[in-house]
Amino acid sequence: MRIWYPSVSQVHCSPSSSSYQGGQASIVLSRSGSRVTYSPWINQLMGPMQGAHRDSNAADASAEEFSLGHGWSPMDFQAVIFAGGLSKNLYPLTSQEVPKCLLPVGNHALVYYNLKLLEDCGFKHALIVVKGEEAASQVDCWLGDAYSGHLIVEVKHVHEEMDSAEALRNVASFVTANDIFVISGDTLSDVSLGAVAAKHRLQGLVATVVLCQRPASISEPSAKGKVAIPPVRDYVGLDSTNQHLLFLANAEDVGKGELSVRKSLLRASGQMNLRMDMMDAHIYIFNREALKTLQLQPGIKNIRRDFIPYLARTQLSSSNPASESSNLDGTEIPMSMVQEKSHAHVQSQRYSIGAYIADKTKYCRRINSLQEYVHANSDVAGHAIGLTGLSLSTNNNVVAATAIIGHRTMIGPACIVGKASSIGEKCSIKKSIIGAKCQIGNNVKITNSVVANGAILRDGCTVANSVISRNADIGDGASISSCFVGPSVAITAGLQVKDESLSKE
């Protein structure tokens, strides 16, 4: 390990209810054996359903005002960022030299935003867990060369095949605080960690899950042979107060089948609000009891898919969650282990999983696909520019003072041009991000694209709806449309490429 020092809509599900009608969709709940099955046309419900939204956290508005001296301190918590590794979902943009957490978003490495989120909350230390020794080495290099924040950062690598819960189990020995923030390295958000911590402490929770509004799907480029898809939907079950998480499933896990909800859960909770307009931000707090439970459950591999649903399920059991070992395969919890409980009793459970619902004004997006990567860059060059720490000019763009802009070159709104980049004459840049030290020739047109550090775009070339990775070389007069071009790829002069993913290999 190396250490771096700083230089909606709701569906009300209850045992007595059988259906919900709202908006343009109908959801039917039917009993099936020992389960309650939700079997709507799951994958057809693409838009938010109509219904009331109530942003309800037990800490209420006062949580946003929590600071040092008001019941918690960042020193009471530890923070771990699970930065991942190369990520096949983001190929060909990732490589041995560019792991996922170092992909540029708004001309900052993705991991920068997680570190800034922690620093803004008052943290002094952070642990970054990276899959693979080579990827960890690249993160080390970035911290030494490019990180200018004030956190003391430790980098630890785990095996490339480790899933998130396995990695958390692997680094649990480094946890000395009573509570630990666990943040996914592909989460881009400005959620107030102080407010999340306040809720967690005020309610004495074992775990807290941050939920955000699901970002809207917009038009997006797609590589050849790949279908552009909207963000994966989460199915979130909350108690009647919207304070506690009772159920969490992902559309990717459910597929085209049925979404099953245990009857025992509904009997124990009395009512569950099933939300489909929210997303799991992959920002969690776990206390030491939760980590002990994880150590006792070696079958738990993934935090979102296994650990959170397990904790949510066993919080309603009359036994200690840490002692259970038979509920990872989806089998029904024995009815004898479930007590009939009122809402008040459920809320007072020692093993309680909190749901922090972020305000609708907060930004959150998970960069776990090529499409989401494109969306995130578009966002931070526009309405989410505040995340970058940059300030818009009067032209609603950001052009570095050291950038050289040629005669009669037009740089439109929602553009960012990085340090020491050179743009030739009579160029047109629209809704695009240009990295640092890029060389762009004359008569070049760039639209709705990302051009990473050190890329070369030669005279007369056109780039639209594409991502050009660092050190790529686009030849004279080439046309690139709806493509993902990997690091150091060279495109022949005059070549026309559309809907392709191009790598050097």
**124 within 8 A of 151, measured Cβ to Cβ:** yes
Report the C-alpha gap between 464 and 91 in whole angstroms.
19
CA 490 distance to own-chain centroid: 31
pLDDT, one tens digit per residue, over 20-43 is: 333 322 233 333 333 344 433 333
- DSSP assignment of 424-465: -TT-EEES-EE-TT-EE-TT-EEES-EE-TT-EE-TT-EEES
The values of phi and psi at residue 452, to 5°, are: -80, 175
d(CA 502, CA 139): 24
**Distance from first CA to last CA of the chain, Å, rounded?**
31
What pLDDT does 255 receive? 65
Q: How many CB atoms are closer than 10 A to CB 470?
A: 23
Residues of the chain with CATH 3.90.550.10: 2-215+232-371
DSSP characters for 289-342?
HHHHHHHH-TT---IIIIIHHHHHHHTTBSS-GGG--S-SSSPPPPGGGB----
The reported pLDDT for the residue numbered 429 is: 98
Task: Supply the CATH classification number for the domain 2-215+232-371.
Answer: 3.90.550.10
Q: Count of alpha carbons within 13 Å of 345, Cβ hemisphere only? A: 12
Measure the CA–CA gap between 161 and 144, rounded to whole angstroms.
27
Classify domain 391-502 at the CATH class level: mainly beta
Question: What distance in Å separates the CA atoms of residue 94 and residue 89, rounded to the nearest whole number?
Answer: 9
DSSP code per residue over 388-411:
GT----TTSSEE-TT-EE-TT-EE
- Burial category of 420 from C-beta neighbours within 10 Å (exposed 0-12, middle 13-18, buried 19 and up): middle
Q: What are phi and psi of 317, to 5 degrees?
A: -85, 150
Cα dihedral angle (100, 106, 108, 113), rounded to 10 degrees?
Answer: -80
Residues of the chain below pLDDT 70? 1-75, 216-232, 255-257, 318-351, 505
CA 489 – CA 91 distance, rounded (Å): 13
From-to residues of CATH 2.160.10.10 in the chain? 391-502
Which amino acid appears at position 413 of this protein? P
Match 């071009």 to its residue by tokens: 485
Beta bridge pairs of residue 126 = 153
Q: How far is CA 296 from CA 121, 300, 324, 325, 326, in A?
A: 32, 9, 9, 8, 12
Q: Per the structure block, which two tokens stand in for 381?
A: 């060059």
Task: Using CB atoms within 10 Å of the CB of residue 61, give its burial: 0 to 12 exposed, 13 to 18 middle, 19+ buried.
Answer: exposed
Q: Give ∠ CA 413-495-426 in degrees, rounded to 5.
A: 35
**Length of the chain as a residue count:** 505
d(CA 467, CA 435): 11
171: enclosing H helix or E strand: helix 164-171
For residue 497, give the H/E element and its range. Answer: strand 496-498
pTM for the whole thing? 0.82
- The token duo for 17 is 């209810």
Phi–psi pair at 250, nearest 5 degrees: -115, 140
Cα–Cα nearest to 10, from 381, 201, 235, 273: 273
